[in-house]
Amino acid sequence: MSQEQVYSDAGFGQPVPRGTRPAIVVVDFSYGFTDTQYPTASDASAQMAKTRRICDIARDKGFPVIFSTIAFHLGELDTLPWLRKAAGMRALVEGSRLVEIDAATGIQPNDPIVVKKGASSFFGSTLAALLTGAKTDTLVVCGATTSGCVRATVVDAVQSGFNVLVPRDCCADRAAAPHEANLYDMNQKYADVTDAADIAAWLDSLA
Catalytically active residues are: 149
DSSP string, the chain: --HHHHHHHTT--PPPP--S-EEEEEE--BHHHH-TTSTT----HHHHHHHHHHHHHHHHHT--EEEEEE-B-GGGTTT-THHHHSGGGGG-BTTSGGGSBPGGG---TTS-EEEESSSSSSTTSSHHHHHHHTT--EEEEEEE-IIIIIHHHHHHHHHTT-EEEEEGGGEE-SSHHHHHHHHHHHHHHT-EEE-HHHHHHHHHH--
Strand partners, 142: 26
**Is 53 in contact with 140 (CB distance < 8 Å)?**
no
User: Residues in the chain, how many?
Assistant: 207
